[in-house]
A and B are shown apart, each in its own frame.
Chain A
Amino acid sequence: MEKLPTILLVAGVGCFGLAGVLSGYLPLAHLNRIPMKTVEQIVTEPSYEFIDLSKRYPEQFKKYYGEPTVENFRKALKLGRDTYIGEACWHCHSQYVRPVSNEDIRFGKVSYAEEYQNEMFLPHLFGTRRVGPDLIRESGRHGNDWHVAHFYDSTIVVPSSVMPRYTWFYDGEQPNEKGIAIIAYVQWLGSWATPEAIARQEREEAKNGAGK
């Protein structure tokens, strides 16, 4: 047990491999039965908030995105996600609602595996710390105006906030490409699981069920 080959093969490769199979590969194989989707598959129309941004900041929007089309919305979502990563938003905000501690009452529907099986969660942004609240059910919780003020200086709308200022998301006081992108992204998070979206899905399922 003190010999090099034993250490390298059994402890090094063996134990690592065993753990990789048990706590990496098994859950992974299990989850892979849910098909992975691309951004094109999950985002089929521009969101209400994205269109709203184009009306509130027409000059800025025209300059950076042109028209609020679905292609431009996807572009904004990807840039918004990159910004969310680069600014380390995910170190102070989580992106999953747990089935415990009254989190479903505070945030909304408990997270489920399917909603993360797409390109927008590669890599996942679960996060490990909540200085600010969870964001996976953030869609539509606040208006675009609120977000514009909040990213500029969060204490305007939340006096006790410790969130940093993101003044480089703005040209003067108007959101720029990054500003529009991050708001579009945050407003998109959980748009598939708002109470309205869930009610709509249930109605459709009921209709399909009745039609059979």
Chain B
Amino acid sequence: MPTEAVPLVDRKVVKYHIIAGFVFFYVSLFAGLLYALQLSRIYPFPGVELLSPGRIRMLHTNGVAYGFLFNLFIAAMHWIIPRLTGKPMLSKAITWFVFWAWQGIVGATAFGLLTGRAQAIEWGETPVWIDPVVVVGAACLIVNSATPILRVAKRKLYVTLWYFSAMMVWLPLTYIMGNFVPQYFVPGAGGAAVTGLFIHDLVGLTVTPLGWGMMYYFVPVILKRPIWSHTLSLVGFWGLAFFYPLNGVHHFFWSPIPMYAQYGAVMSTIAVEIVVFTVVVNFFMTIRGKTDMLRTNIALRWFYTGAVYYFITCFQCAFHTTLTLQKLIHFSDWVPGHAHLVMLGVFGFWLLGMVEYLWPRLVGNTMYSKKLSSAAYWLATGGTFVMFLDLLVAGVAQGYLWMNLAQWEKSLILSAPFWHLRTLAGSAIICGILLYGYNMWMTAKNPGTRPVEEGSESVPDQKTEGAPSAARSGSN
């Protein structure tokens, strides 16, 4: 057991990662808005090299992935892993090194992208000279957070830790494969197969395990009841591990990648949806009989809205990765619509829910205003869904125009109203997140004025030995 001198959870680093994540979140959101304005043909900085819309687009996607999502996921790891294992992270020095290294990496990436030094790997546009630094940073993070898990390795682990520890193997493999193999060794269609794997593994084997891992921790803690079915948890985890990495090629259907790989990607993508279904069912059975908490607990509301969006986006995936539908929607706005629902609507929402729960516990105040929390939720939820539907419809319309050999400009004229609506929906999301940030600011302003009632923060779980006793020590 940790002594009093070494607290189990380094609350300060959790807080700092959350703050840094939000800084990059705002940068990315406004970058997205700028890019949307270009498509609406009212770009405020035409002909300015450093603010060229193409570069801004890469800032948007990379800022969201590495600045926002990863910072908040690292915060989640620092909060959850010590609580589930009863052991602190390996070293405070490494903890803070990772924090500053990560901000440096994201900052350098933003600088590299805006000065036109991108790498031609989608979701890995990080300039080539930063890639090795990312690997070092990730290695430190993994060593630091794997140590407490290794110390309890003889026990059966709680489901959150299955996801987290598998992620610690997948993240470096994925990153090294995606950023080095197509860059230096494999050209053309073979390289495309590898980048397809990278794009998909980054979402499926890094972001998804982190997201589900934290959901398996926070949902039972807030609901004060165990996850409904341990068996379904197992099915979900092993299904993800087996089928998810096989999907990579579905990003380049009808390309010169050999067709057998494309057929395989169709089948395994459909298989993933079955797995997804088990996980979603598990979570909805867990909340049965307590759904009134969705009205009162806003963190829970973000979590379950994200779960609904998760189901929608994965269900959609099973259809649009068929070779038939690919003829129509590939290359169209359907794809950004899908991507926004996944990255923001699912993982972004889960992390916003986590911050809604953690922030009061970190600054020692209950949230400043429940009304603001709720307004932020509705603006982001509505904005995301409108954007999703809007881009979906735009995508189908564009696909038919292209297929029917209309002049290319016709597809631009047709898209204009859709793109205007997308700009508006995006603005609603930004307003929501601004309210969210303001609420956080006001909560932190006068510490200790509205103390949080410390309830039990252990995971109520009767089905996995080890987890309850380990989690009990989490009330530091």
Interface residues of A (CB under 8 A from B): 1-5, 7-8, 10-13, 15-16, 18-20, 22-24, 26-28, 30-32, 36, 83, 85-92, 94, 96, 98-103, 105-106, 111-113, 115-119, 121-133, 158-162, 164-168
Contact = CB atoms under 8 A, between A and B. Distances in A.
Contacts of B54: 87-89, 91-92, 164
Contacts of B130: none
Given A8-B168, A19-B197, 9 more contacts: A2-B464, A3-B157, A11-B162, A12-B165, A18-B245, A88-B58, A160-B413, A164-B38, A165-B47
A164 B52 contact: yes
Interface stretch (B14-22, B73-81, B95-103, B182-190): B182-190
Nearest to A123: B182
A85 B246 CA distance: 28
A5 B41 CA distance: 55
Contact of B256 (A102, A113, A159): A113
A131 B419 CA distance: 11
Give 3 closest A-B pairs by Cβ, nearest first: A116-B188, A12-B169, A19-B245
Contacts of B252: 96, 126
Decide if the interface of chain B is mainly helix, strand, loop or mixed.
helix
Interface hub of B47, B121, B416 (most chain A Cβ within 10 A): B47
5 contacts: A13-B173, A27-B257, A85-B118, A91-B58, A121-B187
Interface string B320-333: 00000011101110
Contacts of A126: 192, 252, 255
Contact of B246 (A23, A30, A122): A23
A123 to B, nearest CB: 4
Given A88-B118, A121-B187, A132-B408, A4 B157 contact: yes
A11 B166 contact: yes
B261 A27 contact: yes
Interface string B113-136: 000111111100100000000000
Contacts of A113: 188-189, 256
Interface string B149-174: 11001001101011001101110011
A26 B261 contact: yes
Contacts of B330: 98
Contacts of B121: 123
Contacts of B328: 101
Interface in B247-277: 247-249, 251-252, 254-258, 260-261, 264-265
A105 B249 CA distance: 25
Interface string B172-204: 011001000011111111111111110001000
B99 to A, nearest CB: 25
Nearest to A5: B153
Given A27-B190, A102-B403, A162-B412, A20 B177 contact: yes
B327 A164 contact: no
Interface hub of A11, A106, A118 (most chain B Cβ within 10 A): A11
B114 to A, nearest CB: 10
A116 B157 CA distance: 47
B156 A3 contact: yes
B254 A98 contact: yes
Nearest to B406: A106
Nearest to B259: A27
A2 B188 contact: no
Nearest to A8: B169
A166 B169 contact: no
A31 B259 CA distance: 12
Contact of A99 (B241, B254, B261): B254
